[in-house]
Structure 1
Amino acid sequence: MTPSPEIALAQTFLQQAMIAIAPANVRIGCRMIREGDEAHLLPEEARSIPARQPATRRASGAARWIAHGLLADIGFNDFALLRTPSGAPAWPDGIIGSLAHDYDMAVAAVAPIGHIVSLGIDVEPAQPLPHDIFALVATPADRTGTADRHLAGRILFAAKEAVYKAVYPLDREVLGYEDIAVDLNAGHATTKTGRKVSLAYCVAPRVVVLAFVETR
């Protein structure tokens, strides 16, 4: 199904903004989720995803459709991104990546392992974070001074989600929001395990945060 001009324009704006924040060698993409995207799941992928809800499978199909294209660009055609017990997809050997979606938009990032050894991505609507959720997410150690004050909470939430995705494959430790200190001013985060994570984000027209762990 061909997307409407409005959807195509939103995707284009977000794609350009995401490319602008992505480090070298990190490929990144987005797709507005729409009817029928569950059909983009490869058969093995469809079997590995336990959720039966159409919206969940549609979002998973959209995110994997992006990832399939990014992987094909670096020589991995029709690679099935199976869901692991942690919920993250299993990437090809030598490749790191991350998927995310909100209700309407899916995003993905992939890269060969090199200077960057792990990736995490999150996407959120560009709307203020509800106060009750902000109270759960924010800690006194967080710094959001340079962010749009209306969206700072949302960016902080997305940053902690992205950081968790980036560090879990390395440390295999479950972290709460209170275990991640984010400094949007400096563009990095620190976990309670001492893991240092770089951050980049954009707001156009969604909040997207990319977290990545670099070799020291």
Structure 2
Amino acid sequence: MIERLLPAYVACADTYETDAPAGSLYPEEARLVAASVDRRRHEFAAVRACARRAMAVLGLPPAPVMTGHRGMPLWPEGTVGSMTHCEGYRAAALARASDVRAVGIDAEPNEPLPPGVWEAISVPAERERLPLGADGSATPAIHWDRLLFSAKESVFKTWFPLTRIELDFDEAEIEFRTSPGGATEGTFVASLALTAPGMPRSYEGRWLIDDGFAVTAIVLPEAPSA
């Protein structure tokens, strides 16, 4: 599913399986989740199995994916990527750093957010554009509050690896656009309140509602040569 949102030069892999193949973690990866509950270990392993499938698509040997600050994946040298997991779906996207500066992907269940979260993650302009009903949906097939959360997660996953600067929900404003051919997919633009050297203030992404999930993705192209 995630490949529908990304260009061909970004390698993708996803799964709807809950568990990863037995023995799919490297020892150093296994140590990161040794004290975690079973559910966390399973999703950690499954999404890394997706990551190694994406590596293979790029012609790269399998390698461990460790974690940095805020759980940021540490990719093999010369690559950039992103991972996501939610109940029932895991995905990874990977590209060569010579082609792409950053990738951010996120998947969420297409369900309303818990009470009070919509107000915490949105800014006034977003609440005006996306008036939500009691079920968190302005369109029967789309829970816009959850889609907004996913889009902001994709923004953070694109921004943070390049800047190491925290980004709060109210520091990114999202405007969604639907595609002419369908009401359950389209694009979005994220405008940031923060600046950082060499980083744009605006990010373009794509979104999709399918199979019970809200999925978003951003690809930040390689900066043009000076």
Write the mapping of 1:174-193 to structure 2, written as runs, cut at 5 A: 174-185=166-177, 187-193=188-194
2:48 aligned counterpart, secondary structure: helix
1:112 aligns with one of 80, 83, 96 = 96
Matched residue SS, 2:14? strand
Q: Is the 8 A contact 2:108 2:146 kept in 1?
A: yes
CA shift for structure 1 position 101: 0.6
TM normalised by structure 1 equals: 0.83
Shift of 1:96: 0.7
Mapped to 1, the partners of 2:162 and 2:117 lie a distance apart of 27
Contact persistence 2:52–2:63 (CA under 8 A): yes
Contact kept, 8 Å, 1:116 with 1:212, in 2: the verdict is yes
Matched, 1:124 2:125: no
Any stretches of 5+ residues in structure 1 without a counterpart? 1-14
Alpha-carbon offset, residue 148 of structure 1: 6.1
Distance 2:61 2:203 in 1: 30
SS at match of 1:136: helix
Query: Pick from 145, 150, 167: which aligns with 1:158?
Result: 150
The residue that corresponds to 1:81 in the other structure is 65
**Greater C-alpha radius of gyration:** 2
Report the Cα distance in structure 1 between the residues aligned to 2:112 and 2:29, rounded to whole angstroms. 34
**Structure 2 residue matching 1:41: 3-state secondary structure:** coil
Equivalent residue, structure 1, for 2:53: 69
Report the Cα offset of residue 168 of structure 1. 0.3
Q: Are residues 1:202 and 2:208 paired?
A: yes
Give the conservation status (yes or no) of the 8 Å contact 1:63–1:106. yes
Unaligned stretches of 5+ in structure 2? 132-136, 178-186, 196-200
Q: Report Cα offsets for 1:186-213 as digits up to 9, x if no partner.
A: 6221222243222111111111111222
Aligned equivalents of 2:25, 2:193: Cα separation in 1: 36
Name the residue aligned to 2:11.
27
Q: Is the 8 A contact 1:28 1:108 kept in 2?
A: yes
| 1:60 match | 44
Q: Between the two proteins, what is the percent identity of the paired residues?
A: 27
Matches within 5 A, 1:131-150: 131-142=115-126, 143=129, 149=139, 150=142
Secondary structure of 1:47's partner? helix
Q: C-alpha displacement at 1:23, in angstroms?
A: 2.1
Number of equivalent positions: 199
CA distance in 2, matches of 1:36, 1:19: 20
Please tell me the residue identity of whatever aligns with 2:120.
L
Structure 2 residue 24 is the aligned partner of structure 1 residue 40: yes
Question: 1:63-120, CA deviations, whole angstroms, 9 ceiling, x for partnerless residues?
Answer: 0001101101212222111122331111112211011111221111111124531111
Q: CA deviation at 1:33?
A: 3.6
Shift of 1:181: 0.9
TM-score (norm 2): 0.79
Q: For 1:134-162, what per-residue CA distance to the aligned partner results, in whole angstroms no more than 9, with x for missing partners?
A: 111111233559x9634111110000011
Change (3 A) 1:37 1:129: farther
Structure 1 or 2: more helix by fraction: 1
**Stretch deviating more after TM superposition (35-44 or 113-122):** 35-44
Residue 213 of structure 1 pairs with residue 220 of structure 2: yes
Q: Kindly provide the amino acid, as one letter, of the partner of residue 48 in structure 1.
A: L
> How far apart in 2 are the matches of 1:124 and 1:56?
16
